[in-house]
């Protein structure tokens, strides 16, 4: 994994000088995807994100709640309070058709992005193949 490589130490580079894998921006498509599997609420979505494979650091809860509110404002999701069950009331979110559309757009965008990263990595590893033993 990223932390364990020792490269940062070797070259005396602060960890923060290259993105650590938080991928906060990625929160939005994840939320949309989770909601496409069924209604849910902020706290639960947060734990799902947590298990989704974010390389590092827990997703920022502020990000989750604010993203959900943004998505609702724009009509990508709808919510209603759920007072049933134990504990404090939950705001239960559901995906709209428009939200489903946004998810598909995100998927296209992510696929494209993946290709760009792949292109970079291909060129990179081609150039350094001889240097990078191990």
Minimum distance from residue 97 beta carbon to its own copies (Å): 7
Sign of CA dihedral 108, 64, 21, 55: negative
Between CA 50 and CA 44 the distance in angstroms is 10
Q: Is 66 in the site for its own copies (CB under 8 A)?
A: no
Containing 99, the helix (H) or strand (E) segment is: helix 97-128
Q: Is 73 in the site for its own copies (CB under 8 A)?
A: no
Yes or no: say if 48 and 37 are a contact pair by the CB < 8 Å rule: no
Binding residues for its own copies (CB under 8 A): 1-2, 5, 7-8, 10-13, 17-21, 23, 25-26, 29-30, 33, 36-37, 52-55, 74, 97-98, 100-121, 123-125, 127-128
Binding residues for DNA (CB under 7 A): 22, 24-25, 41-44, 60-63, 65-66, 68-69, 85-92
């Amino acid at each position: 994994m990223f932390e364990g490589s020792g490269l940062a130490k070797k070259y005396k580079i602060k960890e923060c000088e290259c993105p650590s894998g938080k991928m906060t921006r990625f929160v939005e498509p994840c939320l949309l995807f989770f909601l496409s599997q069924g209604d849910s609420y902020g706290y639960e979505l947060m734990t799902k994100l947590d298990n989704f494979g974010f390389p590092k650091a827990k997703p920022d809860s502020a990000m989750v709640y604010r993203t959900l509110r943004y998505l609702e404002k724009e009509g990508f999701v709808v919510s209603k309070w759920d007072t049933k069950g134990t504990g404090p009331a939950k705001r239960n979110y559901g995906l709209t058709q428009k939200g489903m559309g946004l998810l598909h757009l995100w998927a296209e965008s992510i696929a494209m992005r993946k290709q760009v990263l792949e292109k970079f990595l291909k060129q990179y590893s081609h150039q350094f193949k001889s240097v990078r033993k191990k």
